[in-house]
Amino acid sequence: MLRIEMVKKLLLLTSVMKMFDKHFRVKTSNTYYQKDNALLILEDSFKALPKMKAKSVDLIFADPPYFLSNGGISVSGGKQVSVNKASWDEGFSLKEKHAFNRRWIRMCKRVLKDNGTLWVSGTLHNIYFVGYALEQEGFKILNNITWEKSNPPPNLACRSFTHSTETVLWARKDEKKIKHIFNYKLMKSINDNKQMKDVWRGSLTKKSEKSFGKHPTQKPEYLLERIILASTNEGDVILDPFNGSATTGVVAIRNKRHYIGIDNVEEYLELSKRRLENEYKKL
C-alpha cells in the first residue's frame, strides 16, 4: 500500500516537474503549489516572467491593478464600503501607470506563442493606458469586450451615471501572417446560433464562488469560461500574471487546459490553492 502511494507521488512529481521544466528556463524556489496541470508561483511577476521560456504559452489573461484605490466609497452587500482594494491597487502617477503597463505587457509578449492571444481586463481607471501600451508594444487589438454587470453597486455620490461595465481587451501580436485561435463556431453555437457580440452581460461574482475566502477583485467564472473557450483548445497552456484568487486557473482546469498563475501575495495563493483543490475533486 505504502509503495503504491510512493509510486503515485513520484509520478505526480515527475509530471509537475515536466510542466515546470517546459515553461521555466531558470529554477525558482517560489513554487507555491503544483499539481497535475496547475502551477502557482509566489513572486513578483516582473521577476517571474523573465524566468519563463520564450513563446511557451498559448493564452494570457491579465487582470492587472486598476489603480482605483483612491479613498472613495461604494456599496457592497447593501453596506457602504471603501473602494480601496489593497496597497497593490493604490494610485501611481500617470507616467508610472503607463510604465508599469508597458513593462508587464512587453514581458508577456515574450512568453506568448506567435498564434497566442492576450486578454486584459480593466476599468476606466486603467484600460485606456493598457490599450495605448498594447499598441506601443506591438499588439493589435482584436476586440473591445464590454462586460455589463446586471447587478452593479449603486452610485452613492449621485454625481454621475452608475458604473456598470468593465472592459476586456483582446489582442494578438501584430504579425500579419500568423492566424490566432478563435473558436468562432463554438461561440456562435452557445449563442443561439447567432454571431457572438462584444457585449457580455452577467452578474457580479456569486457568493458561491467565494466560499473558499475573499479576494477584493475576484472575477466571475462565466467570464473566464467564455474567454478560455473562445481562444484556446484542450491541452493549451494559460498564464495569468496577476493570479488573484485563480479564477482563470479554476476555469482552465475545469476545461482541461494547463495553468500557470503568478501573484506576489501569499494569502491569495492560499485561497487559489483551496479553489484549485476543490476543482480537482470535482473532475
Ligand X SMILES: C[S@@+](CC[C@H](N)C(=O)[O-])C[C@H]1O[C@@H](n2cnc3c(N)ncnc32)[C@H](O)[C@@H]1O
Residues that bind ligand X (CB under 6 A): 44-46, 63, 65, 88, 215, 217-219, 242, 244-245, 247, 262-265, 268
- Smallest distance, ligand X to C-beta of residue 6, A: 35
Q: CB–CB of 101/126 below 8 Å?
A: yes
- Smallest distance, ligand X to C-beta of residue 237, A: 18
Given the complex with ligand X, which of 180 and 215 has the nearer CB atom? 215
For 231-259, letters b (16+ CB in 10 Å) and e give: bbeeebbbbbbbbbbbbbbbbbbbbebbb
- Smallest distance, ligand X to C-beta of residue 43, A: 7
What gap in Å lies between CA 49 and CA 88, rounded to an integer? 18
Look at the block and give the residue holding cell 504579425.
Answer: 175
- Smallest distance, ligand X to C-beta of residue 262, A: 5
- Smallest distance, ligand X to C-beta of residue 14, A: 28
Given the complex with ligand X, which of 19 and 168 has the nearer CB atom? 168
Given the complex with ligand X, which of 26 and 158 has the nearer CB atom? 26
Question: What is the length of the chain?
Answer: 283
Residue 208 CB partners (closer than 8 Å, separation 6+): none
Given the complex with ligand X, which of 14 and 259 has the nearer CB atom? 259
Given the complex with ligand X, which of 167 and 217 has the nearer CB atom? 217
Residue nearest to ligand X (CB): 244
Q: CB–CB of 142/180 below 8 Å?
A: yes
Q: CB–CB of 75/153 below 8 Å?
A: yes
